[in-house]
Amino acid sequence: MSVAEENADQEPAAQQVSAFLERRREQIAQRWADSALFRTVFTVARDEAVEAGRSVTAALAAVAASGGLEDIRASGFEAVRDQLGRMAASRARTGIDPDGIAREVAALREPVTELLRAEFEDPDAPEAQRCVVALTVLMGTLRLVVMETTVSAGEELIARQREQLHEVATPVIKLWESTVAVPLIGTLDSARSQVVMESLLDAIVAERARYAILDITGVPTVDSLVAQHLMKTVAAARLMGAECIVSGIRPAIAQTIVHLGIDLGTVLTRSSLADALAYALSRQGVAISPVTAADAGAR
């Protein structure tokens, strides 16, 4: 059978499959409710599983009726995408990998195919074969839709965690009266430097800080982009009336900065956080001195 013929044949077969799905919706839903996928997702009530099966069957029928058997963007799927996503997510939470979910969805095909075969007097007749093929294609598409929802749910999770990581990774610490510090750890990209800038400026207002220390000990590399982010942060802090000190510049990084020809001339730098704090304290007229014997005796 040529490709053109196959496509021509698919059209009536798809309509037949659609009619079959509508007709046998209840039976299919009942059978699906006993399948591994539905049974494990809807552990509490079988009725819910049956209800979910019904809505998925209805969606498949709608897709088949529209003729787009292989269209994962078919409007019919939109209605159940949410539900499929929830089911896939609930399976994923139990620790099953995408491969396992795919297999469970594939297992939904068998009961439906059996029902479809039973519809025909002669299951080997060309017409029956074509309907089975159409149904197989449709179930394949369903599997794709489920996988797609699974993957996008995973992506959402990753995006959310990335956001949380930003917040977690940029604490602003009050070191002394009107002195705050941000220990930067990890690569400084634009999104992160934005978060750093915002939280630092908010902290400057909240703590009424005069000095802000950006410690880059934990930043693995400093390229021109990172340097630019640093300078922007320093400039913003200055506009808020705080003096910004960049500390924790390792020798290797100092070399890199010089080699790249980055001009950090407008930025106050210190080699360690301790030096930066000492500078901030001395500017505020605070001196730290060792406790003398006389002091110790007075206690």
Q: Which residues of the shown chain bind other proteins in the complex (CB under 8 A)?
A: 194, 197-198, 201-202, 204-205, 208-210, 232-233, 235-243, 266, 268, 283
Q: Which two tokens stand for residue 188?
A: 């400084």
Q: How far is CA 299 from CA 191, 287, 290, 293, 296, in A?
A: 51, 20, 15, 10, 6
10 Å Cβ neighbour count for 154?
14
CB of 183 closer than 8 Å to CB of 212: no
User: Which residue, 103 or 232, is less far from other proteins as judged by CB?
Assistant: 232
User: Which residue, 95 or 265, is less far from other proteins as judged by CB?
Assistant: 265
At its nearest, how many Å lie between other proteins and the CB of residue 250?
Answer: 23
User: Which residue, 113 or 228, is less far from other proteins as judged by CB?
Assistant: 228
Pairing state between β 173-176 and 179-185: antiparallel
At its nearest, how many Å lie between other proteins and the CB of residue 174?
Answer: 15
At its nearest, how many Å lie between other proteins and the CB of residue 271?
Answer: 18
User: Which residue, 41 or 196, is less far from other proteins as judged by CB?
Assistant: 196
At its nearest, how many Å lie between other proteins and the CB of residue 245?
Answer: 10
Q: Which two tokens stand for residue 168?
A: 């977690």
Q: How far is CA 123 from CA 120, 209, 255, in A?
A: 5, 82, 78
At its nearest, how many Å lie between other proteins and the CB of residue 88?
Answer: 40
User: Which residue, 104 or 207, is less far from other proteins as judged by CB?
Assistant: 207
